[in-house]
Amino acid sequence: MKHEHIVKAVLPGSIAEELEIEPGDCLLSMNGNEVEDVFDYHFYANDEELTVLIRKPCGEEWELEIEKGYEEDLGIEFEQGLMDEYRSCCNKCMFCFIDQMPEGMRDTLYFKDDDARLSFLQGNYVTLTNMSDHDIERIVRYHLEPINISFQTTNPKLRCRMLHNRFAGEALKKVDRLYEGGIRMNGQIVLCKGVNDGEELERSIRDLSRYRPYLESVSVVPVGLTKYREGLYPLEPFTKEDALEVLDVIHRWQDKFYRESRMHFIHAGDEWYTLAEEELPDKERYDGYLQLENGVGMLRLLSDEFEEAFGELVGDDKVRQISVATGKLAYPFIKGFADRLSQKYTGTKIYVYRIENKFFGEWITVSGLITGQDLIGQLKDRPLGDKLLLPCNMFRSGEEVFLDDITLSELAKALQVRADIVKSSGRDFIEAILDS
């Protein structure tokens, strides 16, 4: 199949603009090579001497010879970000969150991606079941890294059952090829009670540790369970006692790995500590926060950032009234921050509200899955002060829209309060409170 890529935009002052490449033009080849997708494009575009074949909308073909700096960008944006179709997931995982969503939400929320290219571009985790030998060869050839892999278990039969895919166990062999190619990897285990925990978790950690140092880290996170599970595999939520057992396993292996390599390798998601009612580990346990976007160490980093910024504050008696809404997971931390700020800034009153996730169900505790309707329903007629602060992870990336398509302005109108989005750091939280 021949790949053709339509130019969406040309950046001002770029090489492409100088060569009169325009939106609507079609990229046909680079250095005589067909361009399959965004990885081929960037690989070939790195060259200092480049021949690009462009077809104009009128059908005329231009062969452009380019001399440029190594890795200097051409300044072209394409209609499709991947320069190819997105690859959807072919698994039917027993823990899939998308299968647990109600009907009637926007279409994009139901798309299950399992595209390795999104692993490199956006940090998504892939199961490897959707990858061909050609895909693996390109990753090794272009030395694309790191790749994020959703393992779940290293037991081939159990992996087939968990992913409901008879090829899921065989797909684990692709990790060997990535390891042999020297490709850096990060891993994830979504833990399901009575399925891949206990002895199976011990086995997975032991097996995965053999891929060090190229497999740099593996996170263990609890399965997310919504109230929409009718007809799905009967998974149960973890208890406090379960969480304590999981942490005991992880800490024991961490200590072993650290003695061997000065890296902890296996990491527990923040939810395990809050569920177990245990103190968060020191930042040294997180090996530089390799899995921050996977909810590993986020609360520790937030706390440390707050402490650092708080230590620089002088305090005042200026009158302020502010409200903050967050999820169950982060609530104790945010409430603690607010109380300490109120002590130093004696005129400042901070209302901190823990929002229960009625939309997805009580077992969902992260703020990133809170909807606008839950916020409106639980904050209506509550004291909100002069403004309401909301964490940025409640919103669609780059937009002011909640998961249920309620907008920030609609929420502010319903609650009759100014609503502001706060960035994710502890310092950002303090600055938003003090309006500095």
Is residue 64 domain-shared with residue 127, that is, in the same domain? no
Specify the 3-state DSSP secondary structure of 131: coil
- Which of residues 245, 277, 295 is at a domain's end? 295
Answer yes or no: is pLDDT of 120 > 80.
Answer: no
Residues pairing with 7 in the sheet = 78
pLDDT at 1: 46
Answer yes or no: is 175 within a domain. Answer: yes
Average pLDDT (86-102) is: 86
- Which of residues 259, 278, 295 is at a domain's end? 295
Q: How far is CA 379 from CA 108, 339, 351, 376, in A?
A: 28, 20, 11, 5
For residue range 272-306, what is the model confidence (pLDDT) as tens digits?
Answer: 999 999 999 999 999 999 999 888 999 999 999 99
Answer yes or no: is pLDDT of 3 > 90.
Answer: no
Is residue 317 domain-shared with residue 338, that is, in the same domain? yes
Measured distance CA(114)–CA(159) in Å, rounded = 16
- Which of residues 249, 266, 295 is at a domain's end? 295
For residue range 199-256, what is the model confidence (pLDDT) as tens digits?
Answer: 999 999 999 999 999 999 999 999 999 999 999 999 999 999 999 999 999 999 999 9
| CATH number, domain containing residue 51 | 2.30.42.10
For residue range 32-59, what is the model confidence (pLDDT) as tens digits?
Answer: 998 988 888 888 888 899 999 999 999 9
Answer yes or no: is 93 within a domain. Answer: no
Answer yes or no: is 87 within a domain. Answer: no
Radius of gyration of the chain from its Cα atoms, rounded to whole angstroms: 25
Measured distance CA(173)–CA(179) in Å, rounded = 10
pLDDT at 121: 64
Structure tokens of 73? 């960008």
Is residue 38 domain-shared with residue 65, that is, in the same domain? yes
pLDDT at 142: 86
Measured distance CA(168)–CA(196) in Å, rounded = 15
Specify the 3-state DSSP secondary structure of 250: helix
Answer yes or no: is 373 within a domain. Answer: yes
Residue corresponding to tokens 């939810």: 271
Identify whether the C-beta of residue 368 lies closer than 8 Å to the C-beta of residue 393.
yes
Confidence of residue 115 (pLDDT cuts 50, 70, 90): low
Its domain, for residue 358, covers 303-434
Measured distance CA(436)–CA(418) in Å, rounded = 16
Residues pairing with 407 in the sheet = 401
| CATH number, domain containing residue 330 | 3.40.50
Is residue 307 domain-shared with residue 162, that is, in the same domain? no
Measured distance CA(109)–CA(96) in Å, rounded = 13
ω into 146 cis (within 30 of 0): yes
Answer yes or no: is 83 within a domain. Answer: no
pLDDT at 37: 84
Task: Say how far residue 11 (Cα) sits from the centre of its chain.
Answer: 28
Answer yes or no: is 217 within a domain. Answer: yes
pLDDT at 82: 72
Answer yes or no: is 89 within a domain. Answer: no
Is residue 44 domain-shared with residue 174, that is, in the same domain? no
pLDDT at 206: 98
For residue range 394-413, what is the model confidence (pLDDT) as tens digits?
Answer: 998 788 999 999 999 999 99
Residues pairing with 419 in the sheet = 388
Is residue 64 domain-shared with residue 103, that is, in the same domain? no
Is residue 250 domain-shared with residue 343, that is, in the same domain? no
pLDDT at 178: 97
For 379, other C-beta atoms within 10 Å of its C-beta total 21
Is residue 249 domain-shared with residue 184, that is, in the same domain? yes
Is residue 179 domain-shared with residue 231, that is, in the same domain? yes
Answer yes or no: is 88 within a domain. Answer: no
Number of domains in the chain: 3
Confidence of residue 343 (pLDDT cuts 50, 70, 90): very high
Identify whether the C-beta of residue 338 lies closer than 8 Å to the C-beta of residue 350.
yes
Is residue 289 domain-shared with residue 144, that is, in the same domain? yes
DSSP 215: E
pTM for the whole structure: 0.86
Is residue 291 domain-shared with residue 308, that is, in the same domain? no
Is residue 333 domain-shared with residue 245, that is, in the same domain? no
Tell me the longest C-alpha to C-alpha distance in the chain.
72
